[in-house]
Structures are given as C-alpha cells and as structure tokens.
C-alpha cells in the first residue's frame, strides 16, 4: 500500500509525538541535604570557559551554583526581548557536572535602557537626590512601574525554569537593602498611615502632635524622614518600609508560586550582617520557604566596629546565625560567605589559612543547611574586582580553593549524618525590632549599645547550654523553658498578655532594663515602666538613670556592678521578692531594688533594671538557668575560643566543634563518639587551630 504524502506526514508526526511522550522525563534533582556552592556569573565569561569553571567546582565538592541575580541586562537586553537560552545552557552545563541551580531574580539591577526610559523607577535618597545609573540597588521599592517590569521578567524566568528539574530554588532580588523617598513612595506612606489610623485625629493623638505644632490637617503634610522627628512617626516609617518590602517581594513571589513546581524553594538572601534593621526581617521571612543570609563577619571588620579584629568573631557570628534561624524557627541557608576576604573593608585583610573552613562549619553547627561563597571567579572589571574568589581571573584556583575543596570533602562525608538534624534549645533571647528602633531613635546614653547588651545575655546563656535561640516576640515561645528579653522597650497590651500567658503556663521570663516604657505608637506609657507588663511584674520602675560610673549590686545571685543603665524598682505586690539591690553609688539608687522576681501561675517573671558587668552577668544567668530547670553542665566542656554546637535528629545527636582559639586543643568527650570526618571512634577530639571535628552518637 502506498501512503498518500499527507497521510505519511500525519503518521510521522504521530510517531514523533508518541516517542516524545514515551521518553522518560528527567526526574527533578532533589535538594542536597547539605547544599554547597558559589555565586557564578556565566554572563560575564565566554561560554567556552563555562565547563572549566564547573569542572573545578565539581572537583571542590560543590553541588550548587547560584546564578542570575544581577543579569537583567543579559536576560532582557531590550524592552520585552528576553534571552534565556544562555541561562538554560548554563543550568544544563551545571547539571552535567552534578550541580543544581538556584536562580536569583535580577531585580536588584534594572538595566540602563529601563532607567533611561522610566526614570521614575530610580530611587530617591533621603536628601531628595535621584540616583543615577551605574551601580546597583538604584530602584525605588515603591514604584508601581518597577514592580510591573519585575513581574514581567520573573514571569519569563518562571515559565522557562519553573519545571526545570535542575533548578531547586529561587532567590528574590539580592539583599533587599535600600528604601526610597521619591514622591510615589511618599504617597504610599500617606496611604499607609491613613489605613493604619483611619483619621488624622487618631494619628495626631497617637503621635501627640500638639508638641512643637506638628498637628497635621492633610495626610500629605506628614513628612517622611529618618532624622530626629516625632518618635511615633519614626517607628511607623520603619513599619511602612517593612510593609513596602513585603509587597515588593510578594509581587515576585506570587508570580513564582503560581508558575513553578512547589518543590522549588523560594528564599531571599538577607545582607547587612544579619543584624541590620532597616526593616523587620522576621516579618518578611514569613513569606519564604527558607531564609538565607550573607555572612560577612570577619575579613574587613578591622576597625569598623570596636570588636572588629579582621577575623571571625565566633560569638557574634554564632549569635547572628541564631538570630536568622529564629526568624522561621528552623534551619537556614548561608547564601554568601567570603572565600578569605572582601574588598570593601578599610583593610580587606584575609582570614587565616583554615579560618574560612572553620567559619563554614561554625555556620553548619548553628543550623545552616547551605553554604555558598561569593564569588567563584574574580570579575575582570566591575566594582568588586578585588573581592575574594576561589579561582582567579584566569579561571585557575587561588590558594583558598584547596580549603574550599577540603570543606567540600567534609560536607560529602557529613551530609548523611546531618540530614534531618537541627539545633534545639530550651532558652530564647528576644530581639524585637520595634523596641530596637525605639531605643535607637534616642538611645539616651551612647553607652547603651543594645546589640552588645543582647550579646552579653546570649553569651552568658549559651556558654553553659551550647544552644540558644534568638527570636522575636511574635514567634512561638511555648517551646522554651526560659525566655529573656534584654531591652523590650515597646510593649503592647497584646504582647503583655502573650508574655503573661507564657509565664502562667510554666515559662520563666526575664525582662531587662528599658522594658515596657513605650506603647505601640512609641509614646511613653501612661503607666510607669514596665507599662502594659506592670501588673504581671508587680513592681514598677521609679526612674531611669544613664550611668557614668558603675554602681555595685548584690543579692541572691551574688554581687557585681551595674553599668551603663540603672533603674530602681518599687514593689507594688506583696509576693514580689527582691533579688538584687544597688549599693552605694548614685544616691538615687543606694539601697533600692535592682531586680525583682515573682511567681506567676506555674512560672516566674523577673525584672532586672540594670545592665550588669559581663562577669556578673555570667553568674546571674546561671541562676536563671537553674531556676528554669535547665541543665547547665554543658554536654562537652570546651576551653575558651572553642565553639561547640549540637544538632539533634530523630535518633542521633551531632556535635560540631570549631577551634577559634590561638592554639591546638584537646577536648575530652563524655563518652565514645563517631568521628564523622576522620572516621573511627574517639573519646578525645584533637583540634589544631581552626580545626573542625564533627562527632555523632545515638540519642539516648
């Protein structure tokens, strides 16, 4: 039988369709238990060089590349003209080398054609200057046009890569950094205020605008400023910035959620060293599946902070990891870490040999399930051409590459043991954005360094327990036996009730100085401090004093010094016990209660009105832990500078030990453990300087 040509074409087409649908579709690559990789910018290099890069990544044990976050001018070289084939080839090339891809949406860097055609999308700084093109973060988060352009590019990316089996995650923008003061953003601010307060009368009342004739008769009169303005306005502006970031990111997240496979994780990398507080990071974290941050605490921090040594400060770094973990109360990712050095420090010194690996392991101990470097290869040109990388501009390894490769080998061994484990803590330290902002707007004493005070509490509690969470008051507190809130300045009646419930149900709560002075509008509470918490505490702050000289304190917890800040307390309820009193010093304080404690329901509530010296703080914290029934004999005792973290899974515990001390250390273990990196059983962990041990044993 001779087939008609038309029929022939039809059958051939049918055969092709059948063959295509029968072809096995590539199963998605699962998210590795421990993700390890680097930021990679294929758009900056000839395609012929890609595989050499990827081969070296693979040889270093990497299983992930992060691409795309600054590539908008390559992705969309002209309006509406999208070029994604190169990206697809990059994803495929990485997959061939066994690596999954995280795609960053390129919205941190709008291209020049865009900023020229739509200048209204450019950010305006607080002095009213509109940014020009040539750097990054030059867009306004409030611009509707910009959001439309972002949506369009994210749609194209989602359609192309949303089902790609090798794409495992999306990163929204990059480090969500600068807010804007352009007219459109001002309009948004006014509408935001109107929604919050309903009427100008309500706003005028909450902000007490009769003060200095600030009374507003039109919404548009309200200034947008971060200077020394009305405290209510300043706090609301921060909340507004948070909400603006929230809907800026949702604009992209919604597009992705509607189009991509649910297995693809949506995240963003937060910069500014974790502590940055331009907006409420816990609030914006709620939108993501996983939260990640960029760990740059070490190189370059030579004289930027008084604590900066140019090396990793494991205490601050550990606290920051725990803070980030607290935003979602689950393991997190480190999306960027410098391979040795940055290029933006006053002295961009290098971390020592071994320190980069120890830094990576330290993060894993605190709950990181992803470690990625910034960046893979030195860019020939561009603002950060000196920055640390793993291969030089020639594509050949630089010295730190070998250390990254060792880390890769470590991770390959440890990943199966770490899978499904996470840090667990009975203790939480509260970090509250509203309170932090409220104090920052007027610290009253420049010695009141809130973050230092928080870290002091953290250190005193972590050393004996080797596990502390840092959470915001919005998180679930019921899982902790002890919650301490060092500077909880802003307390709403709702928060006071939540905290009261926590205590009545058996929790132990310690409130530090400056607690409850302010209402949600950053107004002074009509009641004396601790404001909405007054009834629960059963005592009030008679006055607050910024100290020039330390004042002795003594009581049930021993004796030490009140420094920086002191509040004498007055008992209002008969069952309130005084646990600390001021000695002779500032005459206003002499003999007055410095701390009180009270049983409330099944738990206790303590108010400490003074900032204590560090040594005494350590002692006092031991008392709090004991009262809360938390074991203070750390599982493994460690010398100074040796950091121990514990991750717990269903049937095993894993200890990550990093030695940041000046020399070699031997750590005696409480029994035999499996040495995950070196192999075999050990009872003593021997660590050279910057050495790492990963030990595991069944959970008993």
Question: Which residue in the block uniquely carries the two structure tokens 């990398």?
Answer: 269
CB nearer to ligand GAL: pick between 338 and 568: 338
- Residue 294 lies near ligand GAL (rule: CB under 6 A): yes
Question: Residue 384, interface with ligand GAL (CB under 6 A)?
Answer: yes
Give how many residues touch ligand GAL by CB under 6 A: 11
Helix (H) or strand (E) holding 531: none
Strand order of the sheet with strand 265-267?
265-267, 167-171, 100-104, 64-67, 35-39, 368-373, 332-336, 292-294, 269-270
Is residue 690 a contact partner of residue 361, using CB atoms and an 8 Å limit? no
Closest Cα partner for 275 from 333, 335, 322? 322
**Strand, helix or coil for residue 216:** coil
43, 336, 355, 463: which one is catalytic? 336
* Cβ distance to ligand GAL smaller for residue 387 or 540: 387
- For residue 88, indicate whether it is catalytic: no
174 binds ligand GAL (CB under 6 A): yes
| Contact positions with ligand GAL (CB under 6 A) in 592-611 | none
* CA 673/CA 681 separation, integer angstroms: 5
Among the listed ranges 48-56, 336-344, 495-503, 586-594, the one in contact with ligand GAL (CB under 6 A) is 336-344
Q: Name residues contacting ligand GAL, limited to 254-273 (CB under 6 A).
A: 271
Residue 275 binds to ligand GAL (criterion: CB under 6 A): no
Among residues 349, 252, 249, the alpha carbon closest in space to that of 303 is found at 349
Of residues 50, 216, 279, 296, which one binds ligand GAL by CB under 6 A? 296
**CB of residue 335 vs ligand GAL: minimum separation in angstroms?**
8
Nearest residue to 388 (alpha-carbon basis) of 356, 424, 426: 356
Q: Does 284 bind ligand GAL (CB under 6 A)?
A: no
How many whole angstroms from its chain centre is CA 135? 24
Q: Which stretch binds ligand GAL (CB under 6 A): 163-171, 221-229, 335-343, 685-693?
A: 335-343
* 336, 410, 434, 463: residue in contact with ligand GAL (rule CB under 6 A): 336
Nearest residue to ligand GAL on Cβ basis: 271
Binding of ligand GAL by 295 (CB under 6 A): no
Residue 388 CA to residue 348 CA, distance in Å, equals: 9
Least distance to ligand GAL, CB of residue 88, Å: 23
Binding map of ligand GAL across residues 341-370, x = CB under 6 A, - = no contact: -x----------------------------
Instruction: Single out the segment in contact with ligand GAL by CB under 6 A; choices: 22-30, 163-171, 334-342, 528-536.
Output: 334-342
Q: Which is nearer to ligand GAL, 273 or 677 (CB)?
A: 273
CB of 270 to ligand GAL, least distance (A): 10
Token representation of residue 237: 């502006």
Q: Is 376 in the site for ligand GAL (CB under 6 A)?
A: no
Nearest by Cα to 516 from 500, 532, 502: 532
Bridge partners of 267? Answer: 171
Q: Which is nearer to ligand GAL, 386 or 444 (CB)?
A: 386
Residue 300 CB, nearest approach to ligand GAL (Å): 8
Q: Which is nearer to ligand GAL, 293 or 480 (CB)?
A: 293
Question: Does 645 engage in binding with ligand GAL (CB under 6 A)?
Answer: no
In the set 43, 69, 76, 175, the catalytic residue is 175
User: 191 to each of 185, 200, 202, 227, 559, how far by Cα in Å?
Assistant: 10, 12, 14, 21, 53
Could you tell me if 567 and 587 are in contact, meaning their C-beta atoms sit under 8 angstroms apart?
no
Task: Supply the minimum distance, in Å, between the C-beta of residue 69 and ligand GAL.
Answer: 7
Q: Per rule CB under 6 A, is residue 43 in the interface with ligand GAL?
A: no
Residue count of the chain: 700
Nearer to ligand GAL, 326 or 338 (CB): 338
Enumerate residues 6+ apart whose C-beta is below 8 A from 490. 235, 432, 434, 435, 438, 518, 519, 520, 522
CA distance 282 to 323: 9
CB 103 within 8 A of CB 157: yes
In terms of CB distance, is 69 or 456 closer to ligand GAL? 69
Strands 652-659, 692-698: pairing is antiparallel
Contact with ligand GAL (CB under 6 A) among 192, 288, 341, 374? 374
Give the residue with the Cβ less far from ligand GAL, 342 or 496: 342
Token pair of 670 as six digits = 């409480």
**In angstroms, how far is CA 56 from the centroid of its own chain?**
30
Does residue 109 bind ligand GAL (CB under 6 A)? no
User: Looking at 387, 431, 462, 518, which residue binds ligand GAL (CB under 6 A)?
Assistant: 387
* Minimal distance, residue 163 CB to ligand GAL, in Å: 28
Q: Which residue has the tokens 């795609």?
A: 103
In this structure, the number of other CB atoms found within 10 A of the CB of residue 101 comes to 25
Q: Report residue 267 as tokens.
A: 């995240």
> How near is the Cβ of 93 to ligand GAL at its closest, in Å?
22
The end-to-end CA distance of the chain, in Å, is 78
Least Å distance, CB 175 to ligand GAL, is 5
Q: Out of 175, 236, 434, 567, which residue is the one contacting ligand GAL (CB under 6 A)?
A: 175
175 is known as an active-site residue? yes
Token pair for 97: 């080398």
Nearest partner of 670 among 686, 649, 684, judged by Cα: 684
Shortest distance in whole angstroms from residue 179 CB to ligand GAL: 17
Dmax over Cα atoms in the chain, in whole Å? 114
Q: Which two tokens stand for residue 621?
A: 């914290």
Give the residue with the Cβ less far from ligand GAL, 165 or 271. Answer: 271
For the bound state, the minimum distance from the C-beta of residue 273 to ligand GAL, rounded and expressed in Å, comes to: 9
245 touches 286 (CB < 8 A): no
Active site residues: 175, 336
| Binding stretches for ligand GAL (CB under 6 A) | 174-175, 271, 294, 296, 336, 338, 342, 374, 384, 387
């Amino acid at each position: 039988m001779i087939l008609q040509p038309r029929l022939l074409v039809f059958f051939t087409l049918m055969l092709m369709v059948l063959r295509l649908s029968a072809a096995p579709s590539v199963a998605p690559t699962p998210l590795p238990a421990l993700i390890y990789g680097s930021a990679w910018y294929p758009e900056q290099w000839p395609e012929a060089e890609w595989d050499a890069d990827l081969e070296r990544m693979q040889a270093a044990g990497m299983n992930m590349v992060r691409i795309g976050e600054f590539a908008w001018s390559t992705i969309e070289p002209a309006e509406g003209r999208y070029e994604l084939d190169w990206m697809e080839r990059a994803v495929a090339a990485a997959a061939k080398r066994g690596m999954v891809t995280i795609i960053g949406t390129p919205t941190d860097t709008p291209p020049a054609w865009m900023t020229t055609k739509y200048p209204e999308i450019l950010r305006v700084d607080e002095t009213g200057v509109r940014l020009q093109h040539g750097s990054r973060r030059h867009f306004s988060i409030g611009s509707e046009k910009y959001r439309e352009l972002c949506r369009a590019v994210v749609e194209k990316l989602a359609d192309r890569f949303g089902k790609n089996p090798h794409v495992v995650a999306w990163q929204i923008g990059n480090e969500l950094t600068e807010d804007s003061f352009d007219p459109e953003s001002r309009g948004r601010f006014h509408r935001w205020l109107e929604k919050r307060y309903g009427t100008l009368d309500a706003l005028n009342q909450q902000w007490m605008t009769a003060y200095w004739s600030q009374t507003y008769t039109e919404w548009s009169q309200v200034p947008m400023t971060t200077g020394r303005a009305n405290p209510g306005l300043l706090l609301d502006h921060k909340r507004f910035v948070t909400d603006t970031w929230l809907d800026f990111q949702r604009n992209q997240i919604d597009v992705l959620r509607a189009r991509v496979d649910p297995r693809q994780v949506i995240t963003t990398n937060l910069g500014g060293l974790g502590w940055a507080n331009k907006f409420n990071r816990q609030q914006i974290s709620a939108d993501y599946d996983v939260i990640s941050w960029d760990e740059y605490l070490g190189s370059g921090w030579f004289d930027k902070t008084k604590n900066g040594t140019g090396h990793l400060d494991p205490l601050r770094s550990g606290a920051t990891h725990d803070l980030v973990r607290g935003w979602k109360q689950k393991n997190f990712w480190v999306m960027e870490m410098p391979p040795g050095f940055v290029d933006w420090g006053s002295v961009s010194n290098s971390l020592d040999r071994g320190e980069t690996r120890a830094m990576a392991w330290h993060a894993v101990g605190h709950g990181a399930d992803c470690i990625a470097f910034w960046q893979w290869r030195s860019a020939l040109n561009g603002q950060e051409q000196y920055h640390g990388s793993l291969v030089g501009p020639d594509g050949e390894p630089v010295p730190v590459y070998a250390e990254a490769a060792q880390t890769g080998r470590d991770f390959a061994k440890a990943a199966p043991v770490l899978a499904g484990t996470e840090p667990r803590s009975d203790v939480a330290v509260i970090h509250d954005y509203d309170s932090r902002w409220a104090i920052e707007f007027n610290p009253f004493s420049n010695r009141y360094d809130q973050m230092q005070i928080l870290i002091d509490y953290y250190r005193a509690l972590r050393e004996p327990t080797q596990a502390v969470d840092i959470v915001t008051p919005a998180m679930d507190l019921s899982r902790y036996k002890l919650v301490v809130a060092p500077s909880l300045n802003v307390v709403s009646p709702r928060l006071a009730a939540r905290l009261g419930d926590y205590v009545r149900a058996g929790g132990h709560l310690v409130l530090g100085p400056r607690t409850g002075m302010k209402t949600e509008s950053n107004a002074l509470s009509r009641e004396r401090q601790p404001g909405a918490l007054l009834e629960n505490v059963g005592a009030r702050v008679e006055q607050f004093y910024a100290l020039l000289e330390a004042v002795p304190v003594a009581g049930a917890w021993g004796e030490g010094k009140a420094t920086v800040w002191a509040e004498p307390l007055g008992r209002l309820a008969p069952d309130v016990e005084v646990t600390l009193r001021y000695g002779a010093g500032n005459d206003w304080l002499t003999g007055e209660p410095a701390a009180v404690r009270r049983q409330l329901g099944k738990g206790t509530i303590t108010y400490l009105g003074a900032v204590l010296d560090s040594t005494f703080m350590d002692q006092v914290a031991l008392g709090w832990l004991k009262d809360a029934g938390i074991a203070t004999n750390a599982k493994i005792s460690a010398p100074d500078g040796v950091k121990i973290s514990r991750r717990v899974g269903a049937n095993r515990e894993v200890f990550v030990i990093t030695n940041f001390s000046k020399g070699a250390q031997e750590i005696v273990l409480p029994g035999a453990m499996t040495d995950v990196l070196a192999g075999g059983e050990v009872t003593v962990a021997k660590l050279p300087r910057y050495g790492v041990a990963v030990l595991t044993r069944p959970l008993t």
